[in-house]
Amino acid sequence: MSAPDTRLRITGAAATSAKYLSLVIGVLVTIIPLSVLFIASFKTSGEFGQSGPFDLPANWFNFANYVEAFQKGGMVEGFVNTTLILAFSLVGTILIGTMAAYAIDRFRFRGKKLVVGLFLVATLIPGVTSQVATFQIINGLGLYNSMAALVLLFMGTDIISIYIFIQFMQSIPTSIDEAAMLDGANRWTIYWRVILPLLRPAIATVVIVKGIAIYNEFYLPFLYWPSHGTISTSLFRFKGPFGAHWEIIAAGTILVIIPTLIAFVFLQRFIYRGLASGSVK
């Protein structure tokens, strides 16, 4: 073997190890902050005070902190409320979004350009700051401090899902509508019996992308529903009473992350796809 050939092979091997080394570093930087919290969540209060963050817990089956977080930290209420909000908002978003997409993609009507323009411009308005004025509307409707306020806001501020529905609907041939129409179906029947079932893949994408966003939303429940807890606001309130008890805060945090992890492991494909269609708007 000639000299340059060997050198090439050596640099190749070095490059490969450098590649895997940097990937491993990336994985460590991602995982360490999470795993030290996981470790802490199994320690007793006394144990936590005496041990360092990397010292493993004496008993991996010490679930006392999780029980405490669930019972005293209001995590049960948080999970129940977030589940209800998710269910109502997702059903609403899907119905409202698919209907709007159906109208925009399948009809010609006066003012269509205006409507599309309104949806587009709305994506530019930063969500959080406009709450200064949205608050007054919600308050005026008498919905302040209610779950309904959140459901309404989650349904009403979703333009991305309408966009995903339109994109998908464009791939459904209009000849299907026409055939149904020749069979005597009216527009509502076509929407309900033909289009909506065919939109299932797009609905799955919206449910997952929007579901994660609602699950993670913090400021809206914090502002509009102060008397009750969702996942985010219940966890946020750990700051007060458990301020000195990191082992309990850790358990609460892990409880909030686990459903996300499970959803990610099982729904990866949909999540990546939703990202590709949703975020490059």
Partner 1 sequence: MVAVTSAVPRTPRRRGRRGSQSGVPAGRGALAKLTPYLFLLAAVGLLLLLTYLPAANMLWYSLTDWDGLDLDKDFVGVDNYVEVFTNPQIFSVFGVSLYYFVGSFAQMAIALYFAALLSYKTRFSNFFRGVLFFPYLINGVAIGFVFLYLFQPGGTLDTVLSWVGLSDPPLWLGDPDVANYSLAATSVWRYTGLNFVLFLGAIQSIPGELYEAAEIDGANRWQQFWALTFPGIRRIIGLSFILAIAGSLSVFEIPFIMTGGANGTSTFVIQTLQTAFSFRQVGLASAMAIVLLAIVLIVTFVQRKLFPDEKVDLT
Interactions with partner 1, residue window 174-233 (CB under 8 A):
174-183, 185, 187, 189-191, 193-194, 197-198, 212, 215-216, 218-219, 223, 231-233
Q: Tokens for 244, please give them.
A: 């000195």
Does the protein bind partner 1 through residue 244 (CB under 8 A)?
no
Work out whether 5 is an interface residue with partner 1 (CB under 8 A): no
- Please give the Cα distance from 51 to 15 (Å, whole number): 39
Cα separation values, 273 from 50, 113, 121, 124, Å: 46, 28, 24, 23
Max distance between CA atoms of the chain, in angstroms, equals 83
The total of other beta-carbon atoms located within 10 Å of residue 154's CB is: 21
> The tokens of 125 are what?
């308005």
Q: Distance of alpha carbon 120 from its chain centroid, rounded? A: 22
In 3D space, the residue among 224, 211, 216 whose CA is nearest the CA of residue 267 turns out to be 211
Asked if 52 touches partner 1 (CB under 8 A), the answer is: yes
Smallest gap from Cβ 95 to partner 1, in A, equals 8
111: left (phi over 0), alpha (psi -120 to 50) or beta: left
Residue selected from 13, 56, 91, 137 as contacting partner 1 according to rule CB under 8 A = 137
32 in contact with partner 1 (CB under 8 A): yes
Cβ count near 145 (within 10 Å): 14
Q: Which is nearer to partner 1, 51 or 62 (CB)?
A: 51
One character per residue 107-136, x = contact with partner 1 (rule: CB under 8 A): xxx--x--xx-xxx-xxxxx-xxxxxxxxx
- Tokens representing residue 126 in the block: 């930063």
In the complex with partner 1, which residue's Cβ is closer, 58 or 261? 261
In whole angstroms, the minimum distance from the beta carbon of 64 to partner 1 comes to 19
Comparison of 63 and 236: residue with beta carbon closer to partner 1: 236
**Span from 68-76, 83-91, 199-207, 249-257 in contact with partner 1 (CB under 8 A):** 249-257
Residue placing its CB nearer to partner 1 in the complex, 6 or 156: 156
Could you say whether residue 238 binds partner 1 (CB under 8 A)? yes
Residue 233: closest CA among 36, 91, 85, 64? 85
In the complex, least distance from residue 216 CB atom to partner 1, rounded to whole angstroms: 5
| Crossing angle (nearest 10°) for helices 160-169 and 75-106 | 50
Interface residue with partner 1, options 57, 199, 256, 274 (CB under 8 A): 256
How many other CB atoms are there within 10 angstroms of residue 57's CB atom? 18
Residue ranges in 61-100 that form contacts with partner 1 under rule CB under 8 A: 95-97, 99-100
Number of residues that bind partner 1 (CB under 8 A): 114
Binding mask 6-25 for partner 1 (x = CB under 8 A): ---------x---xx-xx--
